[in-house]
Every structure is written in structure tokens, then in C-alpha cells.
Structure 1
């Protein structure tokens, strides 16, 4: 008794998430910065279901990669040169009239959409810090009368910018300072102003460069379909903006636009052992009990193992050469035309669950896919064994056993693993 089975699976197309949306209503010049992240299942670390940020660091994290790694942050350069601008009066009580930084430090949520299907996913981003090199109109030694550069910059503010005003926290080691410039970087844990009060008149103050660091919270890639997603986060920079540098400094480019591209490359692969595409249903222990002792079998079955690798959601269903009820497959005896039902079910390895998070044990497979419309990985499964169960119901077995005749029932059954959900 032979059951011919074919086992195709549908290759998962790489999923990329990208975002390039410019809001036409903004009458402003924007600094557009791309952020990219990728998910590839890692057989050596299947429990790690995270995107990898593939954006090249510019600015602070390029100079201090170990520090950024310890804080889980990344950096971009928003402005190459803001230029020396307004004056700062000594001992100014109004923090907005001095040197100040405020960033959008709270988490913000944006939606990214699958380019092909419109499927949404959620990304969260927060600005974790800001820094760069401040620039003075005159040498610090001339403004303060202090002879050395470090001493002059310290005297100018009471403490140099390696000491951040609370709640900001200075990180990194200053690698550049000179007559008119001083490098700094401050973490901004809260959406609160961090300001420095000048102790001497500064005729002009600005920034030679501005960097910011950011943190990301990306979606669970195992719950996303393959494809390309797009999303954008827009910030204003300037007096009263999301990035607020006070009233003295106002960049000409007053929009910072983050364009997100997240790439997911899923795996769905099923391997059938050699010869596994032909399934022979047998009684428990074979036919010897009937041939030698006349005991009719009550069960005809076969368990066929397979190996599955999966990082994506998928569904399963059947295609049948013969069917009696339109839902399940059948086998047919060609001479008499007699048809009997064939029950097909599946057991999946640990790490793959159904839509309710339950283990998959002998789950019936049907032509319409009902009950098997969503299987999902808890973690990446790499070449783990599963089982297809084939069985003829006992009442049908009794109809098939004819001592006086040798009969052969057969039929083609196609089992489909489909990631297109």
C-alpha cells in the first residue's frame, strides 16, 4: 500500500524595511539621515531574535565604539557646522540666553510599513545624547586672560565641558581642544535642559559639528513577514524645537529626518530524507501477524520524519489526488474504485508553536489549512526533526482487508509549508 507524497515549500523572500518619506507640509530644509538594521537567523545563536543595527556610526561612536557599545547607543552627525552666532553675556540667569542642549530623550513610536503588503510594524527610537565641538568667536585665552587652553576653557564656564550640568552626563575623553574649540559629549537621560553659564562675555558662540546618539527598540522579527518596510521619524531643531539649543544658536537646517530601513531575511526550509516521498502504510509490526496467525490489522499507519529550519511564521495545508469530503485526502483502489479516508497530521519540534503559543502535536492537516493557518517560531529553529503522521481510520481498515483478494490503495498527497501569511 503506497502513498506517494510530495513536499514542496515556498522560499521566504528577504524582508527589507525601509523608510524614505518626506513630509511635504514642512517648509524647511531637512537633514536626512538613514538608519538601517538587519535580521538574519543565526544558527550558532538561535535564541537571539533581534535586529542588528547596520548603520555606520558617524561622530562620537566612531571615535569611542567601546563606550557606545557599553551604553547600547549609536551616533550620527546632524550638522557639520552651525557656525558662530549670537553673543552670550557673562553670568546670564536666563538659560536660553546661554549655552544649552535639550534633546527628544523620551521614546517615540513610529510605524513602518511593508512595501509590498502594507503590513505594519512598530519601531521605537530615543535620542540618548548630543555633543560635538563648540566654537568661540575669540580665543578662550583672550576672553578669560588665562594663558593655557584647558585652563582658559575651564575659567570661561567655571568648569570645562568634560563636566556636564545635571541631569546630563559627560562621557568620552576630550581628544580636541584649541584656542576657540572644545570637544564634548553629553548623555541626555531626560527631556530636560542642560545649560552652561558663561563667566565671561562671549561675542559669538556656535558649533563646528553636532553629533547625537540614539537607541532603538525594533520589532520581533519572528512575528514579521518577509518584505521591505518603510518609516520615518521627523524632529525639529532650533529654539523651542525637539532639539533645542537655546536662543543663541539656530541652525539653518531646522529639520532632522530619520529614514528607517530594516532588513529581515527569513529562513523556511524543509528536508525530507531520501526515499521519504514514498510512504507505505503498514500495521503495527508489519503484516506477519495476519499472514501467520490470521489476525486482521486494525490500524494502518506510517510516521515520516523531516527536518525543518524556520525563522518565519508559516501555515500548512494539503493538496490531494483523491478526496471524499473536500477537506481530507483519500486513497483509492483502482480495480474496484473503492476509496478510503486518509488522516494526515503533523508534529513540530520545540520552538515552533501555534497561534495560541501551544505545542504542535499530531495537529490534523486539511486541504483548507484550518487549524494550521499560523505556526510561529519562539526562536530560530535550525534543522530540528518534525513528523508527518499518516493513518487510515480503523473502520476503513476493516473494509480494506479481503483475505481472498490482494488489493492496493494509493494516492498522491502534497504537504505544503507556506510562509505567505
Structure 2
């Protein structure tokens, strides 16, 4: 039997992955620089929050429609158009900034448009990767994507800060546009994405029927449906604590030490980076679902609960590293299941339906985390009752202790619901 040549099998993916990683780095630097610029303009957290809001909402609102279009249209053209409009957004910011005309509301509009295009880009990219990657490499490819994302997360703050100091926002935007040009050219010239045969009966279906087909597919496949609903809840817990109040808690407990926050944030990226290397090199797991739920359980146990009980930077860094180390194993195996179980001609719609169901809990988590911290747990822990004294043995006292209690609660719940699903027989079919 002829031996498979892995580099040749993954040639198209490797070229696309490398060029898109370069472009992602340029985009991440721009996003980082614009957050700093927006904060300097208004000096409020809400200005940054609105940037995130407009970067996220359209992707949810248009996800179902975009997934249907991504399934029916040319994947490469969708990706090229989306990238081109993203570049126009960066170019617009560059021109406005150059004439001293950039306002924060310009960024809200641009972020809304880019998020709208991401609703099309994401499902098209999902399907494109499935089309150019052999099935036996799905987990390895997902691990490599996690690796590049982690690398960008680690490098962006340091490099963007240095470039801002010496060259300003204009230089950041020029780098962003240059990296776009590289990625766009590589995709246009060097990447060939196979087409998908179209069933003529499907063509006669109404557009609305096609839009809902992804949701119907999920509802009819109980194990996939259950695992998606599970992660909707998990993402809600993560959004309530880690994604919302972690920076505030660390700043509160270190007297606004931004270096401490930076060290903890970098540890998140390092943990995810090493985890992505390990999952890329590891053999495919016999039970993907067991890896998924075990990774999720230990992430909550090591990250959220250690953030709660830790009261110094060293413990928080350890929690950030150890808690994010298992996450690439989770995401790689979950993505591999979806790619292998969902028919290729439906992946755009199904992945879009999945993203909507999983990620609509993020804004709810953002709201709950901030509300509970400011109005309930922080004031509660400033009192001196028996419950507060008992909790203070674990989370300490003073400013930030209420937020630590939220971490303790979400970490415990996340660990328990994950570990209870490790041997759930309903997911057995997903491992075959």
C-alpha cells in the first residue's frame, strides 16, 4: 500500500493557514490599537464595550442566512469578498485618521459592517477547510488553527504596543493592509477550493426552507443537538466570569497593576499555545467526546476556581496557563466531530446554526457578570456576616472578593456538569 505523504495532503491547507494567520495578526494589531485609541478619546469602559458589541451582534443576527448563502455560493469568492471589504474598513480608518477626522462612531459603523461580512466569511471558511483537508487530519488541522490563534494572542499586545510607541496608529494600519494584501493574493492565486455537487431538488426549495435546514439537521441528530446546547450553557458560564470580570478582579486586587493583568493575560495565550501544539502532535483520540468533556471539566477546575481562591499573581498565572491548556483538545475534537458528521453540502448552514445557538449566550453572560459583580456579590462581601466570613476563608476579603465568589460558583458548576457528561451514553455515536 502506498504511504501517504502528509505535507502534500495538507499543502493547500498549509498555504491558506499560513497566509490567513499573517492577516489575522495584522487585524489583531489594529483591533488592539483601536481599543487603546477609543479609551483615550472617552476614558470610559462603555466605549470599548460598544466596539465589542458592534463587532459581535451582526454575526449572530445574520448567521442563518449567511450559512445558507455560503453553502450555495462559491466559497473562495465569499472569502475574497469578505477579506476585501475588511481591507476597505482598515483603509477607511487610515484615511480618516490621517486627516484627523476619525470619530469613535465611525468605528461602530465599520465594526458593524465587518461583523456582517464575518457572518458569511466564517461558514465559508469552515466548509473550505473541510473541502481541502482529508478527514483523517481534521483534529490535527483544528489544532494547528488553535496554535496560530494562540500565537497571535500572545504576540499582538507586545508588538502592537511597540509599533504604536514608535510609529503610531498609521503604522499599525499600514501593517494590517500589507498583511491583507499577502493573504488576499495567496487565496486568489494559489488556493483551489473544490466545488460541491448541487442536488437539483434542493435548488427548488425556498430560501427560507434552506435557511432553517441547518437547525432541522441539528434537531434530528440528538447527540449533536445535546452537545451544542451543553456548550451554550458552558459559554454562558465562561462569559459571566472569565471573559467579563477577570481583568476587573485582578486590577481590583492588585491596586490597578496593569503589568499583573498583562502577565495573567499572556499566560492564557501560552497555555492555549502549548495545548494546541500537543493536540496537533497527538494521535486522534478513540473517544472524542470523553476528551471534550474531560478537557472542559479540568479547564473550569484549574482556571476559574484557582482564579477565585488565588490571591497573588503567581497563582493567577498558573490558573490561566493550566486552565487554557486543555481548551485546544476540546475545540479540535469538537470541530472534528462536526466536520465528520455533517454532510459537506450542509456544513455552512449547520455550522451557522450551531454558532447562533452556542454564542447567543455570550451577551447574556456579559450582562449577568457585570450586574452580579457590581450590584450583588461585591456589596455582599463587604458585609461581615457568617456567610461572608466562611467564603472569605476561600476567596479572601476586600475589593474583588465578590468577583472571586462568582468565579468560585461558575468554576464549580462548570466542572460538575462537564464531568457528569464524560460517560453519558447518548454521545457514544459521535465517537464512531
TM interval, shorter chain, is under 0.3
TM-score of the two chains, using structure 1 as the length reference: 0.19
TM-score of the two chains, using structure 2 as the length reference: 0.18
Return the index of the structure with the highest Cα Rg: 1
Higher helix fraction (1 or 2)? 2
Higher strand fraction (1 or 2)? 1
